[in-house]
Structure 1
Amino acid sequence: MKSFTQGTRFSQSLLFTAVISSTALVGCSNSDSDNTPGESDAAAFTVSGTAVNFYTGEHVDNASISIAGDINGVHTELGETTTDNSGRFSLSYDNVPTRLVISGQNDEFGEYSIIVLNEDQESRVTAANLALQPVDVNAVFDPETDSTIELGTTPVIELAANSLVDNNGNTPEGDVSGRLTIIDPSADPSLMPGNYQTIDNQGDVSLIESFGAISAVFEDSNGEELNLAENQTATIRIPLASGINPNTADATIPLFYFDETTGYWVEEGIATLTQLANNTYVYEGTVSHFTVWNADKVYETININGCVVDETGEPVANADVTSQGRDYIGSANTTSNDAGLFSLPARFNSDVLISARNGAVSNTLEVDTDNTDVDLTNNCLVLSPDAVNISLTWGEAPDDLDSHLFGPANADGTEQFHVYYGNHPVIVNEVVMDLDVDDTSSFGPEVISIPRFPYPGTYQYLVHQFSNESDIVSSPARVKLTIGEQEIFFSPSEATNPLTEEWAVFNIEVDANLNPTIVPVQEFVEGWVEDGLEEGPIEEGLIEENFEAFATPANTRALEPKTNQSIKPSYK
């Protein structure tokens, strides 16, 4: 059988053996790992984690980490630290918080924050990866003159002369450096800091949807952070998220900034939708300080009521359940109770994805909401300790990228299954493998779920560019593989060989005990998928050339055009 060969250039962080484990929690988990920088055995509480590149999964060293927490109902700054050369950080404290805000950035990566819940008041918490987005613009300018920071030909920030000061109110001497990061969460809402929550003066929490955001950080020549002086303002222009149609976007919209102490978005100001001379659409507004600024609005919600069970049908408590909008940019999360039940808010009259994690991953359900609550208790999310989840996201172009999964369909591997848009679900040895979500109108996600491996052998995952505009690298595409407690990221920018329309991402080698090993492939290939799409039914010669094990009639399905594929709602 033809198999992908391992690439000669890939991230060292992806070379490991991943044996499925059921000990991790999304957001937080107990950990008995070795001490990391800043940790004290005598402390009442220790939080640790790892900062990674959002797109590649590579560790980010020397990132500045700040941590805040809710202690006895009070938002408290716990301290600051930096990541070591493996991207790890740790901080200890004398009191145990019930909710944490972990924020990070450095010279090459923009500001980002995650929320970690610790309602059971565990003394040791390991956070989910702090996935940082690379900075888009590094600018150096004279603070004594009017300055404009541009992304290409788009003027994003306009500063007046002498408007920046340090924490003591002093104007900087010499040049100032500015770091600008454009946050476009159209493909993946998790690019946005926090949990899309805002809180009012009465303490009521609401959910917001994003129309685009920016992060701006300024430092003097000594690396001291600068911000706007009292009574000074600046003009910001937030590029409209690529998934939003400017013809239907709100003419004005509230501005929100992210508070790294409370972990909530705070409304402050108004932005106006503006078409610039370069035909770029932006939300333009005035701000009095710099942080992460977001063009958002609060939306009306209904509740999705559902359940989480294991493979035997038993309820799963404390599972982290997440919703993600498909036709709006936003998400929400909650946890299942002792009976495995949950109630999760989502935007009404929308298309929403629901999934769960608790030391394992579930399948993904697609839910269409209206203006009343949704009952999913007859269709529970199913968690499996050996489950694998593969999520593919990309940009506005190309319209359509496709996920393809190949693997052994019998015990000796002489037959192969193929999960893709034209053949799912696939049942092998009583295991149901499915393309839970298929997207044909930009951004994704496309989601494949494998509850467990039916046979030993090689399982191969590819991405195929179905539509012809743009390419897989420029999009950019991103694959997140969740296997046990591990989240592994793959970017086509790391792939070898000349660019093609087929990206061989990774293999999973499954041994006789059904334990998996992740083998990054990261190569552009030809003839695995495209030949079948172009030539129609897979003929015997093509099987021998590209799919050697697809020799039986049951496995020689044609990769036909998507003439009958339903088009999922998009932001457009």
Structure 2
Amino acid sequence: MFVSIVGSRACRSAILAVMAALLLAGCTSGGHGTPVSTTQTGVFGQVRDLSGAPVAGAKVMIGAASATTDAAGQYALRTSAGQTVVRFEASGFVDTVERVLVTADNVSGLDAVLLPEAAGQSLDAAAGGTIDGTRGAQLKAPAGAFVDKSGGAVSGEVMVHLTPLDPGVAAELAAAPGDLTAVDDSGAGQILESLGMLDVSVKQDGNRLDIAPGATIEIRVPAPAGVAAPPDEIPLWSFDESAGRWLEEGVATYDAASGGYTATIEHLSWWNCDQVGSATCIGGCVEDENGNPVPGAGIVATGVDYIGMSDATAGADGCFQLAVRKSSTIAVTAYHAAGGGQQREVSSGEAETQVPPGPSAACLDLGKWVVKRGEVVLPDGTVIDCAGVSNPMEGCFDKGAQLASCFQPAGACAYEGSSVTTSTITYANGSKVERTTDGMGTVSRYYAPDGTLCGEQRIEVLDYAGNQVSSRITVSLPNGQSESVGFQLNSDTNGITFTCTDGRSVVWTQEDSAIFQACSGESTESCTGSPTVTPGGPCQTTADCDDDLTCCQGTLCTLPGMCPGGCATDSDCTGGYECCDIDGTTFCLPPGTCTIGDSCSSDSDCGSFTCCKGSCATSCEAGPCVSASDCGAGEICCPGSTENTCSEVVSCYSGRDCASAADCGAGSGLICCGNNSTCSTEADCAVGQTCASNAECPTPLLCCDNAMAPGCQTLETCDLGRPCAADTDCSAPGFTCCTRYGNLCYDNVSCWLTAPCTVDADCGTAPGLKCCMISTQLMCIDGDVCP
């Protein structure tokens, strides 16, 4: 498949590394004064759902510090060195907590997978009752069992969410909080084998409740399918979110009739039925192909003959130790964002060790783990040479094959990032790829060794549905021909199904994917000029850093100008960035971000940001209130889980659990949507519902005849991707029949963005686009960021 045959994972990771370095530099409130020293120690990563799709707008917290994920699900946070507990929250998902080891002067990678929260079911708190959830999950509550966070008794209707997790399904196990290490009731560390997990949440008006002191409720945790002989009794564990660890709290009993474990609990949280395995530990060191340590590398150990998982992060020396079950078979993977990975299946030792292991000579030494681009090492030790890997997509995508045969990169590659969303990779033989990310997807333009344009490739996410994410790849050749291939990721099978242009379906397995990713570049050398991927390899002088990097404050390799105090004027920054004074320290930041923290009277004073309480900010968090008199015009005092805050009535109630419209706030105009029992507008509730005519859809929706978006949809959603012959075939305002992407309806800006040009007039009628020189090529981009 052409999309990953060309390019390199190291070069693709570079932009994320640059953004992490920017965020960790301290983009807080504005100010003036003497530059101060900033230590680059923290965490960055990506938040995804079970399908692998990024989760935008998720809140990531380390103590009082927080960040919000961007459209790609990415985040970065500064913190101190040591074991760090990170909390992830997003609307519609169960909250989760992960732990990561952060080493000084390095940024550790930590990705998170979020599990969709089960729909709420109504229960009368005063009367109590039984709630039956999915997969056989159950809750039985006596009368008056719940209290609010202040300890007050709760009456009336509450919403019960029972979200089961099957640890036998790899995609779901990745969403489990923490790892399967724990502390038993004697305080000793243990390694766990899970036979079922359940998150139990009860809410009223969107606020979390707990069990009243002295009261108990009964739950049933579904056991995973395929367990041959479930034990009659099994230790019960709850998840301590403050410590990021499982704690033993009693015993659960197996109910053969329901296929689940019943238990009595005294508080609401994640609950886990686990067999305790005596713990031992394994260790090793991760290196690149040149023998250099890879600090921040991730290591995951998954039980082969037991259901369990533990993970660790390599320290500054690239070495790690992690707990596993003793005398067991374990699949261990060492990986890093720089690309490459090594997988092994190992047998753990018999020496019992503590959890977490800490420095211990009793750990089984697995030796060196070499992360090398251009090859993949399978669990059986087989080394797959990329030169001998055939293309399973042969004949599936002819235009993509033509583009690949023209591109033909060879030799070492050099990376140049001209802005946050554009980059160029040039190979030793002259082949080149220019990549631009916009709101609609990623566009890559490929050039042959002699500089001839081979064509363009666009990758778009079309739809998320349950456990599947559907996408499309379109290749456009210089002769005007284009071709598209659809692909669908299924989290249940961990496979990808491609729909070829001839109608065939090609399915890739997880092993195919591992080989495919490791063989995604011709050269086994890293791209020169690419930022260190940790980011921030340790250094004492600039000589310790890769080409085009500088040693920031004698501790960390960064791009010039991205070191705190690294610029004095805009001319010291590259790629259209601006020199911003943030809290008295200067940084090169994307255009328009310098206003953060400046005084303001309205949003217009803040560029693309928000005027919040007289200062420009990325978002505005309302202050506490007691009554509406504490709030501004048009606001109410919105009840919250820990405190009340001022907000508009629609913002207050939108997305809350409900049983009827009465739960959605007087005057909000919201309804209780039967699709998911949440408060929403009538139009939002109707999106996607089956229809035969426009009359069956509320304003402003219409009954869409586009097979890509059937049912009630907005005009823009309905038009997007519709086949067309002329602009008149596209009804949405600002849409055009885009020949660049195979005669499909797109909004005008997305159609022309990154198009080759000579003068501004070549950028069509798209507002704001100009013909600008990016690297060595003229293309249509936003005029505001034109260098």
Tell me which residue corresponds to 2:342: 363
Change (3 A) 1:84 1:342: closer
The one-letter amino acid of 1:237's match is R
Tell me which residue corresponds to 2:227: 244
- Contact in 2 for aligned 1:165/1:172 (Cα 8 Å): yes
Q: How does 1:180-259 map to 2 (within 5 A)?
A: 180-188=162-170, 189-199=173-183, 204-221=188-205, 223-245=206-228, 247=229, 249-259=230-240
- Contact in 2 for aligned 1:274/1:283 (Cα 8 Å): yes
Q: Say which one has the larger Rg.
A: 2
- Contact in 1 for aligned 2:278/2:326 (Cα 8 Å): yes
Distance in 2 (alpha carbons) for counterparts of 1:328 and 1:369:
12
Asked if residue 67 in structure 1 is aligned to residue 55 in structure 2, the reply is: no
Distance in 1 (alpha carbons) for counterparts of 2:522 and 2:135:
57
Distance in 1 (alpha carbons) for counterparts of 2:506 and 2:236:
41
SS in 2 for 1:363: strand
Distance in 2 (alpha carbons) for counterparts of 1:502 and 1:87:
28
Query: 1:165 offset after TM fit, Å?
Result: 1.3
Distance in 2 (alpha carbons) for counterparts of 1:186 and 1:496:
26
Greater relative CO (CA pairs within 8 A, separation 6+): 1
Tell me which residue corresponds to 1:345: 323
The answer to which structure has the higher helix fraction is 2
- Contact in 1 for aligned 2:50/2:491 (Cα 8 Å): no
The one-letter amino acid of 1:20's match is C
Distance in 1 (alpha carbons) for counterparts of 2:72 and 2:12:
22
Q: How does 1:4-23 map to 2 (within 5 A)?
A: 20=11
Change (3 A) 1:242 1:336: same
Q: How does 1:79-158 map to 2 (within 5 A)?
A: 87=73, 96=80, 98-120=82-104, 125=107, 127-152=109-134, 154-158=136-140
Q: How does 1:326-475 map to 2 (within 5 A)?
A: 326-335=304-313, 342-360=320-338, 361-369=340-348, 371=350, 377=366, 380-385=368-373, 409=388, 416=390
Tell me which residue corresponds to 2:250: 269
Distance in 2 (alpha carbons) for counterparts of 1:275 and 1:252:
12
- Contact in 1 for aligned 2:137/2:164 (Cα 8 Å): no
Cα deviations by residue, 1:24-64 (Å, 9 ceiling, x for unpaired) = 99xx9993134799956889876555432122323243x45
Change (3 A) 1:243 1:387: farther
The one-letter amino acid of 2:248's match is E
Tell me which residue corresponds to 1:531: none
Change (3 A) 1:241 1:110: same
- Contact in 2 for aligned 1:57/1:489 (Cα 8 Å): no
Asked if residue 491 in structure 1 is aligned to residue 490 in structure 2, the reply is: yes
Asked if residue 503 in structure 1 is aligned to residue 507 in structure 2, the reply is: yes
Query: 1:210 offset after TM fit, Å?
Result: 1.1
Q: 50, 57, 61: which one pairs with 2:53? A: 57
Cα deviations by residue, 1:225-280 (Å, 9 ceiling, x for unpaired) = 111111111101111122422x2x2211111111111111111111011123xxx3
Query: 1:292 offset after TM fit, Å?
Result: 0.5
- Contact in 2 for aligned 1:96/1:121 (Cα 8 Å): no
Distance in 2 (alpha carbons) for counterparts of 1:308 and 1:489:
33
The one-letter amino acid of 1:384's match is K
Distance in 1 (alpha carbons) for counterparts of 2:43 and 2:21:
11
The more displaced of 48-57 and 334-343 is 334-343
- Contact in 2 for aligned 1:38/1:91 (Cα 8 Å): no
- Contact in 2 for aligned 1:36/1:90 (Cα 8 Å): no
Distance in 2 (alpha carbons) for counterparts of 1:504 and 1:49:
26
Distance in 2 (alpha carbons) for counterparts of 1:291 and 1:109:
14
Change (3 A) 1:266 1:232: same
Q: How does 1:298-309 map to 2 (within 5 A)?
A: 298-309=276-287
SS in 1 for 2:174: helix
- Contact in 2 for aligned 1:39/1:90 (Cα 8 Å): no
Distance in 2 (alpha carbons) for counterparts of 1:144 and 1:46:
46
Q: 22, 43, 56: which one pairs with 1:33? A: 22
- Contact in 1 for aligned 2:9/2:520 (Cα 8 Å): no
Distance in 1 (alpha carbons) for counterparts of 2:295 and 2:507:
38
SS in 2 for 1:267: strand
- Contact in 2 for aligned 1:254/1:270 (Cα 8 Å): yes
Q: How does 1:316-335 map to 2 (within 5 A)?
A: 316=294, 319-335=297-313
Q: How does 1:510-525 map to 2 (within 5 A)?
A: none
Cα deviations by residue, 1:444-487 (Å, 9 ceiling, x for unpaired) = xxxxxxxxxxxx99xxxxxxxxxxxxxxx9997999xxxxxxxx
Distance in 1 (alpha carbons) for counterparts of 2:316 and 2:3:
46
Q: 136, 150, 173: which one pairs with 1:168? A: 150
Change (3 A) 1:98 1:370: closer
Percentage of pairs with the same residue: 23
Query: 1:80 offset after TM fit, Å?
Result: 6.0
Change (3 A) 1:313 1:48: closer
Query: 1:187 offset after TM fit, Å?
Result: 2.6
- Contact in 2 for aligned 1:47/1:126 (Cα 8 Å): yes
The one-letter amino acid of 2:164's match is I
Q: CA RMSD in A?
A: 5.0
SS in 1 for 2:261: strand
Cα deviations by residue, 1:512-541 (Å, 9 ceiling, x for unpaired) = 77899xxxxxx9xxxxxxxxxxxxxxxxxx
Change (3 A) 1:305 1:511: closer
The answer to which structure has the higher strand fraction is 1
Distance in 2 (alpha carbons) for counterparts of 1:131 and 1:327:
24
The one-letter amino acid of 1:382's match is V
- Contact in 2 for aligned 1:29/1:127 (Cα 8 Å): no
TM-score between both structures, scaled by the size of structure 2: 0.44
The one-letter amino acid of 1:161's match is A
- Contact in 2 for aligned 1:36/1:48 (Cα 8 Å): no
Distance in 2 (alpha carbons) for counterparts of 1:149 and 1:332:
33
Change (3 A) 1:474 1:237: farther
TM-score between both structures, scaled by the size of structure 1: 0.58
The more displaced of 316-325 and 138-147 is 316-325
Distance in 2 (alpha carbons) for counterparts of 1:346 and 1:46:
26
Asked if residue 288 in structure 1 is aligned to residue 276 in structure 2, the reply is: no
- Contact in 1 for aligned 2:51/2:491 (Cα 8 Å): no
